[in-house]
């Protein structure tokens, strides 16, 4: 689901950082900073890394994703109990 946002964010990452650096630079004239601020506002909204959400690669669930495996806790628990995850086993005591 979020794959397009990740690609878009990666594509515009350098441009966005450059425009932000120009906007924050106090040595530049204000009209030049305004011009770069305008260019920054014209970039696609989904090109920001802040809008990328970690999602489960199996179900697309956005919440409670184990970041190392990129799967949700529900899928993680099922895979851990069945055994296909290397080095993970369900604990019992």
Query: Is residue 47 a contact partner of residue 9, using CB atoms and an 8 Å limit?
Result: yes
- Listed residue (92, 3, 90) closest to 46, CA to CA: 3
Phi first, then psi, for residue 38 (nearest 5°) are: -65, -45
Phi first, then psi, for residue 78 (nearest 5°) are: -65, -45
Which pTM does this prediction carry? 0.60
pLDDT digits (tens, 9 = 90+) for 9-68: 888 889 999 998 988 888 889 899 999 999 999 988 888 888 888 889 888 899 999 888
Domain boundaries, the chain: 1-52, 54-86
Phi first, then psi, for residue 85 (nearest 5°) are: -85, 125
């Amino acid at each position: 689901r979020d794959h397009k946002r990740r690609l878009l964010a990666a594509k515009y990452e350098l441009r966005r950082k450059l425009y932000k650096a120009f906007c924050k630079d106090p040595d530049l004239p204000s009209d030049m900073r305004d011009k770069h601020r305008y260019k920054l506002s014209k970039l696609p909204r989904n090109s920001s890394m802040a809008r990328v959400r970690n999602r489960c690669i199996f179900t697309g669930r956005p919440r409670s994703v184990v970041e190392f495996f990129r799967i949700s806790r529900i899928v993680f628990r099922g895979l851990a109990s069945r055994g296909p995850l290397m080095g993970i086993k369900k604990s019992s005591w």
